[in-house]
Structure 1
């Protein structure tokens, strides 16, 4: 049962119900996308999956474990990784130090300080593949926005998660960087690694996703392959536009 599944998730904030019985499944070896207009409930669902928000009802199951009542660190220990819509970086620390913090999940890194910690093979590889190697010793606060956006994905992958939830990781990137980032996402996939991708850039979504779920006002209105979703009239009306706009 190496997959992530959310079952009949409901969430209300005050008088507003933002998720109405949402269910979805993400498999290893695939990019499972979650799309929808602003306010659809995508980030709320990501927060529920990763443990930052508790659902009013429903279940979150990962690799045979019921995560519904587990805390964030317990979910991380089971192999669930997460990047955030807003930058969550530690200013005053270098790029390599920020990325190395992701190694805390691994028993192989007992202490953050010490010789060679920032030169761990996983850290070096993450910096290389996300084009951060030349900035490894820079204060993360001095990076351009595009470079800074790559630090968090690098920090997540060095923790060696088996399922990564990415919330708008390509927002603000140039077209060229988005294409390279999409290629990097596909490179993460393996029989023991999967990705849940929340993104507004439809070109990126359609190019990297294996399966797509579509939310609109907290309701799952469609799911399927990229071609199936592209042709779905409800999706075109709610999110992609109609006619020439689509």
Structure 2
């Protein structure tokens, strides 16, 4: 993913202000920053929910800046949401099948059977294959997070955007999430993750970009960025 000069203004508010991000193929890249720094707005612009005020977004060599969300999905962009967006009256499998059903998903055959098979593979991958036919309402919050990740994986994305996947998880669920991220990365999938859990971020991501007040204040190898004086100041304040 190549993001250059990305801005999103809401009237006079510059929520995202001239941000550059380069995400390497096959890496786990974290986007962090204090509350209100513009992280989720950036993800919403990248996935097409918001139209960029200015700047350019290139995914796997394709300029997707002006594409609608469904076109970006077809181009290989998958995402999850900070607030879980599952269809509660449907089963886990039905929710994941919706993710699998997209144009350009070459791993799917023409029939519904292939669609179901792809969805089952994704659910099994996140460890919930045995509960595929249960309604969403019967799952814990942590497991609903996993189902949402499975739905994104079922679309066979090139790049997976994860918006605070550890939010609301207990310590055991966070460990499971960390292991899942490792397995996703081992499949060669590229991940851009937003999270406030610095332990998860430092262990899972090789590269970190930091935003504060809509601007990029640091970018580079994980441990070096987390020790950067501007980053420490943004999170903890200064004397």
Query: Do both proteins adopt the same fold according to a TM-score greater than 0.5, normalized to the shorter chain?
Result: yes
Aligned-pair CA distance for 1:123: 2.6
Matched residue count: 236
Residue 136 (structure 1) aligned to one of 128, 132, 139: 132
Structure 2 CA distance, aligned partners of 1:242 and 1:142?
46
In the alignment, what sits opposite 1:197?
193
Matching of residue 175 in structure 1 with residue 171 in structure 2: yes
Matching of residue 145 in structure 1 with residue 141 in structure 2: yes
In the alignment, what sits opposite 1:212?
208
Q: 1:17 to 1:115 in 2, by over 3 A?
A: closer
Structure 1 CA distance, aligned partners of 2:144 and 2:109?
24
The 5 Å alignment of 1:156-175 reads 156-175=152-171
Runs of 4+ in 1 over 6 A off after TM superposition: none
Matching of residue 62 in structure 1 with residue 54 in structure 2: no
Residue 74 (structure 1) aligned to one of 71, 76, 95: 71
Residue 100 (structure 1) aligned to one of 97, 100, 106: 97
In the alignment, what sits opposite 1:83?
80
Secondary structure in 2 matching 1:239: helix
Moved more, 125-134 or 65-74: 125-134
Residue 6 (structure 2) aligned to one of 4, 9, 14: 9
Structure 1: gaps spanning 5 or more residues: none
TM-score normalised by structure 1 residue count: 0.90
